[in-house]
A and B are shown apart, each in its own frame.
Chain A
């Protein structure tokens, strides 16, 4: 593999991310036109930004690697990662947008009127964020080692330093455009190689005959139902609590736009996940040796070079590396921005300096953990973070939005129960299951029992504590569930041609709508005014 091309690709992506971070704001909205400046972000942009932030190393590298090693069982991961947004759409997106809360701790405090509950939530959010950054850094280590031959730590260190510097220097003042760019970069970087490889493999003899690569016995019928259910519970409910996802919904002007955005995210993710799946299946037939060396996660990086000879292969590899680094950088920086927000607000008084300190800390704590541990499969370790999130924040969020009875003590009890149970299953799983082998699957995929238990504890503790129901709960529920008045979908706006009507739908007020009608059709005639 050509190391020079790899260096060039990594440098280009790092530079592009930093430059868009610093200058994207200037380019995008420097204007003297107030109408342009005060037009809120369209759901399309926002959906791309959410996709850009969400598609991490686990999606870009991990899924193909998992399909290579475990076969069809690995297919559940992309399903779960995507379907989590369905849960978000159905239960959380719009009410949370209406709540006015910017972070999950904000929501907890507003809903439960308790500093204690906020503190517990903040701590969990920080822990989850750090745990989620670790696999990104491990992915970077793997990518750098495989493609350039540098030692592993160089990759983790590079990503951590870039993210810390860009975020701490205030480079993410308009993160939406950076993340949207990263999404389309990632999609291109995985779709183009997948399509090209599919064209090329026509003439290449597979290393493993398809009958052996895809044995019928390892088909979907062979799956352990408990593991599958548990994984689905973790991925579906884990998405609800991810700190960097909620923050993006705040960019939507109202609950309706939050829902539209979520639908678009579902579509974008579905399209994206086709390609890692294709690459994983190709890898099973053409590069089965990777599974044995433990570098299965590098499949996406290695496959183009193996199947496509010459400069074309080099170019495809460069493209894939660029996509992988976009994944590491975008997910990490999105997480670091939201974590630094939470840390600086709750611990450092919310100052600009506090934000910088928190940004550096949020990049380097995971770096230490990433250097001290070995990756055991990116998709798997991100899956465990989802299980932890699903057991801790998800019961609090769901009950907080949909059940008046939730109290601060109930929420704290539930979160701590979930954290202790899933945390000990994840950390101590190896030791406990060595002693009692029968419960190994329950510890490897804990979500199916930890999430219901955490929910149960939350409900029971809240019922026992029902005298302490927050006073403002009725007002808060009204605010969460009553849709905003739809002053924007006026019949006048609908009378104009297509693009103008869509502009009106995205505007935030009647004034925006009327401007949109006047805009494309030239100055409105004086008679049009009543």
Chain B
């Protein structure tokens, strides 16, 4: 009976998984037992374990949820009754008896102002009395908060330990600041890499427009409008992301201007799967590829050429390629460019490549197929899911952009 077969198979799978789990658990237990070692070794391990558990939270900040989580480990580390973490703004996070909150704040203030550990004895908390030691957390010589440990009584050992914990916390806070500045640096790098309109292009575009002003004023006017559209998009300040559809529109404006120079020598083919249009990509990540194809592929080729832009659906990814049948790139030179050694030519490619790697990870860099005289094919593969902010959520394009635009169609 097939139903019972299916059931038996399911039961088999579940039993197998359980058995495997039990075996793994036992193995881990046995190994752990064997490696526990002497009491001193165990104590060292315990201390380091608690410290490393607290480290992650301390780095994230001295208030809120993180402080509460760090407090748990730190209290176990010091073996005191209650422990309070106080930051410079006066936020007190208490682990243990919450009645010590007010006095912890006062003690922390004293410790911060003197910059030295401060011990206070015989503090009345409700019906009983306790002692407390407050140690300031100093980073770069300035206090950023304090650790207050409550215990009855406070012995010299606890005072020393609290001081050590406070200085350890200080080093973690500094590491946390380092993390934050590293993230800020990465962000600044992405912003700095954000593609710029090349001066070369502006010069050429304006020249092309100038050549039409007398012979074909209507066309010159259209081109100026295209130029305005293109610059508006490229200079926009909000958001580091855009959609494939918007990027395609900007490419259209760009190519319209290039066609003014190339005339019939520039043919463009598009093959776009509509599923990909709403995919979010880094701002100006496709247009530089097209510009590279025009400037370095077709400009120096006799008789112009063809550019093919495709966007296809590939499961959870979108694949976008830009191909030209121009002069191609020497692979050795290209490698140097992408590695960041050479400057000048193909900067656009390197720029896009670096940003894609920055945003999606190293496996999503540009893939370039090229050789001298064989044309160039640049491919990018980006995940459709985008965890970043919504590209459409920026300030709405104002009414200034709503004029009629494109009579050339």
Contact = CB atoms under 8 A, between A and B. Distances in A.
Interface in A78-127: 98, 100-103, 106, 109-110
Interface in B314-368: 314-317, 363
Nearest to B7: A427
Contacts of B389: 479
Interface stretch (A265-273, A435-443, A520-528): A520-528
Interface stretch (B46-54, B81-89, B98-106, B248-256): B248-256
A389 B7 CA distance: 19
Interface stretch (B20-28, B177-185, B200-208, B273-281): B273-281
B271 A514 contact: no
Contacts of A250: 275, 278, 384
Contact of B252 (A34, A351, A486): A34
Interface stretch (A64-72, A285-293, A504-512): A504-512
Interface string B1-23: 01101110110000000000000
A209 interface: no
Interface in A362-376: 369, 372-374
Contacts of A33: 270, 409
A172 B334 CA distance: 33
Contacts of A317: none
Nearest to B6: A373
A156 to B, nearest CB: 14
Contact of A518 (B3, B5, B407): B407
B186 to A, nearest CB: 18
A228 interface: no
Q: How large is the interface on B (under 10, 10 to 19, 20 to 34, 35 or more residues)?
A: 35 or more
A204 to B, nearest CB: 38
Contact of B393 (A102, A479, A486): A479
Interface stretch (B129-137, B152-160, B396-404): B396-404
B405 A515 contact: yes
Contacts of A355: 314-315
B272 A510 contact: no
Contacts, number: 201
A252 B278 contact: yes
A337 B249 contact: no
B119 interface: no
B246 interface: yes
Nearest to A32: B268
A374 B409 contact: no
Contacts of A32: 267-270
Contact of A34 (B65, B248, B275, B388): B248
A517 B407 CA distance: 10
Nearest to B396: A485
Contact of A98 (B5, B312, B390): B390
A255 to B, nearest CB: 9
B98 to A, nearest CB: 15
Interface residues of A, number: 80
A26 B384 contact: no
A350 B401 contact: no
B267 A373 contact: no
B270 A30 contact: yes
B229 A511 contact: yes
Contacts of A340: 315
Contact of B403 (A31, A350, A508, A530): A530
B248 A373 contact: no
Q: Which of B65, B275, B363 has the most CB of A within 10 A?
A: B275
A428 interface: yes
Contacts of B244: 38
B62 to A, nearest CB: 16
A29 B272 contact: yes
A350 B218 contact: no
Contact of B405 (A25, A26, A485, A514): A514
Nearest to B5: A372
Interface string A36-48: 0111110001000
A22 to B, nearest CB: 12
Nearest to B256: A34
A392 B105 CA distance: 47
26 contacts: A29-B274, A30-B270, A34-B270, A37-B272, A38-B246, A38-B272, A40-B274, A102-B316, A103-B316, A110-B385, A170-B314, A252-B278, A253-B243, A253-B277, A337-B315, A372-B9, A374-B2, A427-B6, A467-B69, A487-B397, A508-B243, A513-B402, A514-B406, A515-B405, A528-B404, A529-B403
Pairs A-B, 5 closest by C-beta atoms: A34-B252, A485-B396, A341-B315, A341-B316, A102-B385
Interface of B: 2-3, 5-7, 9-10, 65, 68-69, 218, 221, 225, 229, 243-246, 248-249, 251-252, 255, 267-275, 277-278, 280, 312-317, 363, 383-390, 392-393, 395-397, 399, 401-407, 409
